[in-house]
Amino acid sequence: MRVGALIKKTILVFFAAAFLNLFTWGTVTAQDLWFSNPKVKVQVSGEFYSVQSDGMPDHKWQQVNPNTPTPQNIRVLIPRNPVKAAQTTPVPSRGPIAIAINGVVFFGPEDAHGKLAIENHGLDSCQGHPAPTGMYHYHSTPACVYHDKRDQHSPVIGYAFDGFKIYGLLGDHGLPPRDLDSCNGHEDAERGYHYHTTRDFPYVLGCYRGTATVTGKNRGGKEMGRERMRPGPGRGGDRMRQACDADRRRYCPNMPPSREMHECMRRNRHNFSSTCQEAMRQHRPPPR
């Protein structure tokens, strides 16, 4: 009887493991990385998680611009063991900066013309819209991806390209955190360093606290971007911030990154140095 019971127990354990494997393959392939969309594939690639997604929203979306979401070929490398870097790195003001748990990417706060997308372009009820390439993306807290529970910390809603997790609007006890740093993140004993989305600028990320890597292609095969982002000179908006830092301190003093600072820079741009004005022209091409 004991041998028979042992055999039965072994068989039950075997089938239980097979059952769990059946429902986690393709959705959860790493202990500390989870995606809600089973179409998202995750593999371990050395020191990174390789995340592949077609970028299509798994929720209803509304037609808020002339573009239509189309399947993409997105591949993102997320550090398996993110660590805080000695210096923060500015996130690109435009284009992909993170990926949500449903495989849709987050973009920086600006649109292609250097305006705040959340104010100047229609976003659907999920705070997203498709780019001209067909890449659907979020610019703020994606309301369709998660739901907060009363008096509780928001769940994980995505991963920044430096590997740190992104949570929703609420911190401990269901209250918005008040100690976020310039990157929109903070640290606690339970979750370590992590980011939060916010209702105000920068909405998702203000900078990278770690080191980010991103690579991918859109549907047409055009590179979405491939670079190792490290502290120091960057692209586009990062170079502009460096060129305009002195003018910002002079004309918009003591203003943290915010909607108000963004508008202050615009109002005073004619007083800025020629170096700053040229950087702004390169970063913000005129509307076509």
Could you read off the pLDDT of 34-47 as tens digits, one per residue? 788 888 999 998 89
pLDDT category of residue 283 using cuts at 50, 70 and 90: low
**Residue 260 is inside which H or E element, if any?**
helix 259-267
Quick: pLDDT tens for 201-231: 889 999 999 998 755 444 444 434 333 433 3
Q: What is the pTM of this model?
A: 0.67
Beta 96-100 vs 212-217: how paired, if at all? unpaired
Residue-level pLDDT at 28: 39
Residue-level pLDDT at 285: 40
Question: Would you call 100 helix, strand, or coil by DSSP?
Answer: strand
Range with lowest mean pLDDT among 47-56, 62-71, 96-105, 270-279: 270-279
d(C-alpha 273, C-alpha 271), whole Å: 7
Which residues touch 81 (CB under 8 Å, ≥6 apart)? 47, 163
Question: Which of the two residues, 226 and 155, has the higher pLDDT score?
Answer: 155
Question: Which of the two residues, 121 and 265, has the higher pLDDT score?
Answer: 265
pLDDT at residue 175 is higher than 70: yes
Half-sphere exposure of 50 (CA within 13 A, CB side): 8
Length of the chain: 288
DSSP for 174-211, please give it: G---S---TTSEEEETTTEEEEE--SSTTTT-SEESS-
